[in-house]
Structure 1
Amino acid sequence: MGSLAFAILRRSFYLAVLPLAGLYVLVPLLFQTVPEFMQHAFFLNFVKVPFLDYTNLTYHGVAHLGRNFRLPEIGARVLCKGEEPVLGVWHVLPASLSRRLEAEIEAGTRKPLTDADYEALLDAESHGVVVYFHGNSFDRTNAHRVDLYNRLADLDFHVLAIDYRGYGDSTGFPSEDGLIEDAHFIYNYARARAPTKNIYVWGHSMGTGVSARFVAELSDLGIPPVGTVLESPFNNLHDVVTHHPLSRPYRWLGERFNRLIVDRWVDSGLVMHSDERIVKHKAPLLILHAADDHIIPVKLGKKLFEAADKAGVDVKYVEFEANLGLRHKFIHKAPHLADILKEFFQRCEAFTTSRKPTKRHEEVHIDA
């Protein structure tokens, strides 16, 4: 009986451990031999819900009037197998404007909005336009992202939310240079159709890496956004990869882990050194991070804040304590978030005037 139990335990051990051991060896091997695997492993754009209807914003929880549209990247320099990508985009109207238009449509004094109407309304009454860049995996329909769109619309902002190339219903496949070009296309779209409005950039998780480089490039061009919000950010690729939960089995390799994994990503064109790029930002910056973030440790967001502060960027760092349970993607539910954003947006507006406020470097911790 004892030998039978031992045999069962041994078999169970092999069944549990051998697949993990094989994966442990297979992942570095794939990094060395299959470049496409490296990109997929970082961007996770293959993680998606199939057969989604992107045209019905209400079905996905958007609380205000909005539209789904396609943005072709005509003249794109970073092509996908020789073709220009086409991005899937949502435009969500500000709450007060949405309510007024809904009432007019219901009363029969206005026809349902057309695509041309939405484009014209982008420059209509509002506090401005927020261009949102999401993190890796899934798409613009994710519930936590939709809740943020609603909250920004409640503050009377237009929201433009894209899916990068290869995500959602956007065509092509992702690369760092490609995502940056996607960001330029949607930003230029907003500038062309909302010339009188302030434009803000909001990035979450991987989207903070996109935003940090993108805004640095805009600053070099002399056309920075009025302000930038980085939610749950990281300081650089090396640190975010080595601190990610999935890298835990490889950390004991030390410098060999860098050569096997991180360096291979860099060689493929994936850099995302936000701490180097953020020093070029020419507009106020707000960094939001949760102390209990289990994907990107809060210390990486703090390092990014320190890099911006050292470079003289106007920056405010807000850390939400662990007792709030906001983790990596629920900062949109944070207490006082609306007040934090209102204060930040007002400060950004002040920077557009001739009497700019004194630059600040402020750190705030919120626990209730």
Structure 2
Amino acid sequence: MQKLPMRNKSRSCCAKCFLGTVLYIFILLLLLFLIIFVVVPVVFKYSTGIQQNLIFPTWIIQAENYTNVEAFGIKGVKNFYLNLENEDNVTLGIWHILPFEILSDVIDNNDYNYDGILENANYNILLYLHGNGGDRTSSLELYEILRRYFQIFAVDYRGYADSSKAKMGESGIVADIVQLYKWLRTKSKSKIFFWGHSLGTGVASHAIANLKRDNISSHGVVLEAPFTSVTDVMKTHPVVKVFSFLPWFSITIIDPIIGNDLNFNVKAYILDVDCPVMILHAKDDDIISYNFATEVYNTAVNSRNYTYQGNVTYHLFDVLNYGHMYLYKAPELSSYVGDFIAECDNFERQIHN
């Protein structure tokens, strides 16, 4: 019998080793593909909890003693809780922040007649709705600007801060804010404005649209760093983009957000906002692109009737370092707010003449 040369045996072993390595790498890559591009989307699709934690990341918010207002370096603030009569039995934590013109350095926070000031129609009311990663303490610097014009009610949504833990979803959160607005209306004849930041723009626009069904209108709304919808923002996120080529992308990642009541479609709600709108956004916002604000603005201008729904004003800030959270640094912001209030007053006079 003729024996194979040693060199041929060596080559045969190397070939088998190479093929084994290639097969191993192929199987490993296939498993990684299945885990990343099949298992992860499927888990996301069927895990409402993961979706809710993505949209409402309450776990990143450090608990505070919200009753100890002085610890936050702000005067003329009352912390209180409003019990809502709804199926979830929600209690909302709220700060009532007084306007500057009635503050006094010689009066402690607890010495003000907050109820009396609320009932005084001379002081406009601003209902402030924060972003998804904040609470009622997150905008202290902005409050110092806004309280030149308003008494502010800064509220934490259900599940946030020390508000009640309850089912998290757009409908529930918006229903709570509608009830809060109606409560304010029973307590005061003041003009009531909305100010929403980021996620708060979705809450504000949806709440105003719902109030319209009850023939209730806001005096004006400010949308700071708005978006068109949660799913639109998701599609632009680098991580989500990785999955966008998949045939099952929409059915596993996008559709569940809509189906589980988490989408906050600002672009749709803005059509039912029957009051003047002011949109604010920074060009260097790396959380929510200003392109979304531009799209909301174009939709509002082109699809609303300004004669009975009011004008839309859009301020796009070119100065860098404002980002997603720091528009309060803009020197012109205060004058923009003052001008907007005057515009809202003019609009109300026009529609009642």
Task: Give the structure 2 partner of residue 242 of structure 1.
Answer: 235
Task: Give the structure 1 partner of residue 135 of structure 2.
Answer: 139
Please give the alpha-carbon distance, in whole angstroms, between the structure 1 residues aligned to 2:33 and 2:80.
43
Answering whether residue 244 of structure 2 is matched by residue 271 of structure 1, we say no
Shift of 1:86: 0.7
TM-score normalized with structure 2 length:
0.83
Q: Is the 8 Å Cα contact of residues 257 and 263 (structure 2) preserved in structure 1?
A: yes
Q: Is the 8 Å Cα contact of residues 97 and 125 (structure 1) preserved in structure 2?
A: no
What is the SS of the residue equivalent to 2:68? coil
Task: Give the structure 1 partner of residue 215 of structure 2.
Answer: 222
Letter in 2 for 1:36: G
What is the SS of the residue equivalent to 2:58? coil
Task: Give the structure 2 partner of residue 65 of structure 1.
Answer: 76
Q: Is the 8 Å Cα contact of residues 267 and 296 (structure 2) preserved in structure 1?
A: yes
Letter in 2 for 1:293: D
Shift of 1:54: 0.5
Q: Is the 8 Å Cα contact of residues 126 and 158 (structure 1) preserved in structure 2?
A: no
Equivalent of residue 319 in structure 1, options 316, 320, 342: 316
Q: Is the 8 Å Cα contact of residues 178 and 210 (structure 2) preserved in structure 1?
A: no
Task: Give the structure 2 partner of residue 184 of structure 1.
Answer: 178
What is the SS of the residue equivalent to 2:288? coil
Task: Give the structure 1 partner of residue 162 of structure 2.
Answer: 169
Shift of 1:240: 1.3
Structure showing greater radius of gyration is 2
What is the SS of the residue equivalent to 1:122? helix
Task: Give the structure 2 partner of residue 87 of structure 1.
Answer: 92
Shift of 1:159: 0.4
Q: 1:269 to 1:118 in 2, by over 3 A?
A: same
Letter in 2 for 1:282: D
Task: Give the structure 1 partner of residue 65 of structure 2.
Answer: 53
Equivalent of residue 48 in structure 2, options 15, 27, 35: 35
Structure 2 stretches lacking a partner, 5+ long: 1-30
**Where in structure 2 are the equivalents of 1:107-146 lying within 5 Å?**
112-113=110-111, 117-124=113-120, 126-142=122-138, 145-146=139-140
Answering whether residue 337 of structure 2 is matched by residue 328 of structure 1, we say no
Letter in 1 for 2:186: A
Shift of 1:304: 0.3
Equivalent of residue 275 in structure 2, options 258, 283, 308: 283
Please give the alpha-carbon distance, in whole angstroms, between the structure 2 residues aligned to 1:127 and 1:112.
19
Letter in 1 for 2:298: E
Letter in 2 for 1:54: Y
Q: 1:264 to 1:337 in 2, by over 3 A?
A: same
Task: Give the structure 1 partner of residue 286 of structure 2.
Answer: 294
Shift of 1:120: 2.0
TM-score normalized with structure 1 length:
0.80
Task: Give the structure 1 partner of residue 102 of structure 2.
Answer: 97
Identity of aligned residues (%): 31
Q: 1:332 to 1:23 in 2, by over 3 A?
A: farther
Q: Is the 8 Å Cα contact of residues 66 and 92 (structure 1) preserved in structure 2?
A: yes
Q: Is the 8 Å Cα contact of residues 135 and 206 (structure 1) preserved in structure 2?
A: yes
Q: 1:48 to 1:308 in 2, by over 3 A?
A: same
Deviations 1:223-278 (A, max 9, x none): 1110000000001232111123543433443x632222110111112231111111
Task: Give the structure 1 partner of residue 342 of structure 2.
Answer: 346
What is the SS of the residue equivalent to 1:46? helix
Answering whether residue 188 of structure 2 is matched by residue 194 of structure 1, we say yes
What is the SS of the residue equivalent to 1:88? strand
Letter in 2 for 1:328: H
Q: 1:205 to 1:92 in 2, by over 3 A?
A: same
Aligned length: 317
